[in-house]
Chains A and B, each alone.
Chain A
Amino acid sequence: GEDVEQSLFLSVREGDSSVINCTYTDSSSTYLYWYKQEPGAGLQLLTYIFSNMDMKQDQRLTVLLNKKDKHLSLRIADTQTGDSAIYFCAEKASSASKIIFGSGTRLSIRP
């Protein structure tokens, strides 16, 4: 069945890079997403990647996709305190009518 997994917590020093990892099981995934949830707010789309791409860069964000290993990562360069949030990985399979979300990774920033 469809499953998306992420580690629950990540702690990073301010100014360092954060790398949040995600694995998924559905090999027919077409789109993979990263959403950010700040406290008391809804999920906000950060970026997404189509499955025929290996990498996508958008300012401080870099998404890497390893389709063979079904592994997706989000790298945040120069992590700032405003990056503290929960980051959700999500995938949509070509045959599915819905998006499956991971459990979220809580990113905390230490000075």
Chain B
Amino acid sequence: DTAVSQTPKYLVTQMGNDKSIKCEQNLGHDTMYWYKQDSKKFLKIMFSYNNKELIINETVPNRFSPKSPDKAHLNLHINSLELGDSAVYFCASSQIPQGGNSPLHFGNGTRLTVT
């Protein structure tokens, strides 16, 4: 009964391709996120959705497009992949938008390698 699950776990693809990563949470949370973790383990927020509405959109290339069909799902589509997109992408959820005593629950990550 995984709380936050994302697929695939590993994704290897060539430059220029388009790919998607899917995320689902069964915690009943209202808010979901995408984070990017680079090779130095630095973690940076990309997007956040609350009840299917976009509430955080950091400075991310518009090749990255999140989609939230319902509050339990947040997918990430990436167009025209570049070498610099190689990283681990984490999905997370919380009861309320980054609320203090509503901590983040993370998925296990998708390791994207662009060759």
- Count of A-B contacts judged by CB separation below 8 Å: 58
By a CB distance below 8 angstroms, the chain A residues around B92 are 42-43
Q: Residue of A at shortest CB range from B33?
A: A98
Q: Determine if B43 and A88 form an interchain contact, defined as CB atoms under 8 angstroms apart.
A: yes
Taking a contact as CB atoms closer than 8 A, the residue among B41, B56, B101 that contacts A86 in the complex is: B41
Interface residues of A in 56-111 (CB under 8 A from B): 86, 88, 92, 96-99, 101, 103-104, 106
Number of residues from A at the complex interface, CB < 8 A:
24
Q: With A31-B100, A31-B101, A50-B100 known to touch, is A44 a contact of B56 (CB < 8 Å)?
A: no
Q: Is the interface on chain B under 10, 10 to 19, 20 to 34, or 35 or more residues?
A: 20 to 34
Interface string of B23-62 (1 = CB under 8 A from A): 0000000000000000011111100100000011000000
Interface string of A10-48 (1 = CB under 8 A from B): 000000000000000000001101010100111111001
Q: List 10 A-B contacts (CB under 8 A).
A: A31-B101, A35-B104, A37-B41, A40-B109, A42-B4, A42-B107, A43-B92, A97-B97, A101-B43, A103-B42
15 further A-B contacts with Cβ under 8 Å, apart from A97-B55, A98-B98, are: A35-B104, A42-B4, A42-B108, A44-B106, A48-B100, A48-B103, A50-B100, A97-B48, A97-B56, A97-B97, A99-B98, A101-B43, A103-B41, A104-B41, A104-B43
Q: Which residues of B contact A (CB under 8 A)?
A: 4, 40-45, 48, 55-56, 90, 92, 97-98, 100-101, 103-109
